[in-house]
A and B are shown apart, each in its own frame.
Chain A
Amino acid sequence: MVTHTEARHGPAGGGWVGLARYGRRHATQLATIAVGLVIWLIFVAGAPRTFLSPNIYQAFMSTTPFFALVALPLTMVVIAGEIDLSFPAVMSLGTGAFSFTLLYTNSLILASAACALAGILAGLVNGAIVAGLGIPSLVATIGTQFFWRGVVLVGTGGSGVSLVPTRGTAFYSAMVGRVGGAVPAQMLWTVFAALLMALLLNRHRFGAHVYLIGDNIESARLMGINVRQRKTALFVLMAVAAAFAGLIASLEVTYYWPTLGDGYLLTTIASVFLGGTSVFGGTGTIAGTLVACFIIGAINAGVVAIGLTGFWTQLIYGLIIVSSVTLQTVLSRRLT
């Protein structure tokens, strides 16, 4: 979006120069999309019957949102030069709060409020430790990850809660129903979240400050940006999104497991980096992360569909992540 205006106002005019400049600026994102296309073509060639029917895409749209909803705000956290490793536990904490509140009060409204509050609380704790006390987020969120998981396990005694009573409610349809009988509602939530995050990141002062904090935190402070407040807001946003994603994942299977979130940690983080966000902070896009989430989400099903065993999945994850991150780095070094 940014570059369209740029090309129009650019002294050299649009055309090839504008296109080249667009390519340079978005090299990493274009590389991600290219990788995604190549993988898709391999899958289509390897298992045309599966990959040319809508069913497989319906499956992607139903399961990818579980971690895409978290990867989107995590992108902003990483752009700001921080990381949040506590989200798997927060997914479980938020959904646990939802499930038990529902169990005892039978009120979807109270349960949803409990879920949101749990997310806000977890985010505020991370924010206070990282932004307030200045403890590196890598360490702080490893700690809170264990802590919240422990809270959940102690609180539930390790047993889950059935969410079957939500079935048939408007709430259930709105969260994980099939819109028009085909598109999973969580996919629409993901698109909505992506648009909201992109708006926040590219069209709001909040996002402008996120980029500046990640690029040069000292200069951001000198220029009067309230770094503490911005970082705290990022962690709250992140934790609320995690609680929401946990809820979606649990409603899809109508059961809440206290171990919810386990297994999402590395795939989610991988999606952010695969999407071209720099580990050093200061650069990254929402669109890149969204595409990367669907690449990661497609690999598992794709590997099985083209006739390999599920054991291949991780090997191929590794290959794709390493090769595309290498490609991105080489490209951005050459082009800028």
Chain B
Amino acid sequence: MTRPGAPPAGRDARKQREPDAVDAPDLLRLTGISKTFGEVQALQGVDFRVGRNEIVGVLGDNGAGKSTLIKIITGYHRPDRGGEIVIDGRRVADLTVARARALGIETVYQEKALADKQSLWRNIFMGRELVTALGLLDLGRMRRETRRLMSEEMGFTSAAVTPDTAVRTMSGGERQGVAIVRALYFQARLIILDEPTMGLSVSETQKALDFVRGIKRAGKACIFIDHNVFHVYPVADRIVVLDRGRVAGEFRKAGVTLEELTRRLQQVAQTGSLDGTPAAQG
């Protein structure tokens, strides 16, 4: 993954980064996170933070390490030794999926994270099924909650869709709605969206972006991963650019125009760094 001869540009860029003026400890702070799969180094010494009620856009090409980064944050992958994960100012040494969810980190994966043959309610409550005092599944409550979420949150009005409908019969937008509602239902504080606009129609994409704005209004934080700058720019407070496993640079939206950002991204794609020009940081 590393290109021989290339200067360690990402690391320099990180040193020059302007400090952010946030008083409370960050909701999430990763320091020096690396992840190696066999011989492939997917992430190399990545620093990454998310403030409270901040929308952080993560941009990068395929293979830039976006998915690996979020899978570390959600506890699915264990990072290599040496890095540090701090949530709410407290170091978390052994982050698992269950632990991350308990800490309020929820992820909306691309639609692959739904179990197709299973009913809507089973998908909504996947891994966190409601149980009665006897320890048995509370089917009635899960169905009622699903029905409520369908009409109040997902905007399903068709009588053909019930809590027992298998999700494979639904459209891409509907499935995205299921994945989003699943994340929101459990009092998330940090919502990670993994390419939420992929494969969606124009109007469905707008819905997804409105949903990100809704997260901001609700006072929650969000990591919005995409490779389309035109989707990320309008809704993000800060944009982090990943390239080949490193943080190639980051921008506060207030400090950069869409045109400038687009130009810089092309530069990253060509040279692997933002430092090709004198004014490296936005």
Contact = CB atoms under 8 A, between A and B. Distances in A.
Q: Do A and B bind each other?
A: yes
A223 B114 CA distance: 10
Contacts of A205: 129, 131, 137
Contact of A216 (B96, B116, B135): B116
A215 B97 contact: no
B114 A219 contact: yes
Contact of B115 (A207, A211, A336): A211
Interface stretch (A2-10, A44-52, A116-124, A306-314): A2-10
A224 B97 contact: yes
A222 B194 CA distance: 12
Interface of B: 74-76, 96-98, 101, 107, 109, 112-118, 122, 125-129, 131, 135-137, 139-140, 143-144, 147, 159, 162-164, 166, 169
Contact of B164 (A25, A220, A283): A25
A5 B169 CA distance: 21
Nearest to A217: B115
B118 A211 contact: yes
In terms of DSSP, what is the predominant structure of the interface of chain A? helix
17 contacts: A5-B139, A5-B140, A204-B137, A205-B129, A208-B122, A208-B125, A208-B129, A211-B118, A216-B114, A219-B109, A220-B126, A221-B97, A224-B127, A225-B127, A226-B98, A282-B115, A283-B117
A15 to B, nearest CB: 14
Given A204-B136, A212-B126, A225-B126, A9 B112 contact: no
A207 B136 CA distance: 10
B190 to A, nearest CB: 15
A157 interface: no
A181 interface: no
Contacts of B162: 6, 9-11
Contacts of A211: 115, 118, 122
Nearest to A216: B115
Contacts of B128: 223-224
A226 B99 CA distance: 12
A215 B109 contact: no
A202 B98 CA distance: 23
Given A211-B122, A222-B74, A203 B159 contact: no
A216 B162 CA distance: 21
A218 interface: yes
A20 to B, nearest CB: 12
B137 A219 contact: no
A224 B101 contact: yes
A202 B163 CA distance: 16
A233 to B, nearest CB: 15
Contacts of A223: 97, 113, 126-128
Given A203-B136, A208-B122, A12 B159 contact: yes
B115 A215 contact: yes
Given A11-B159, A12-B159, A211-B122, A219 B112 contact: yes
A5 B129 CA distance: 18
Contact of A282 (B118, B126, B169): B118
A205 B98 CA distance: 15
Given A6-B162, A215-B116, A223-B128, 9 more contacts: A2-B139, A2-B164, A3-B164, A204-B137, A215-B115, A215-B117, A220-B126, A220-B127, A224-B75
A328 to B, nearest CB: 14
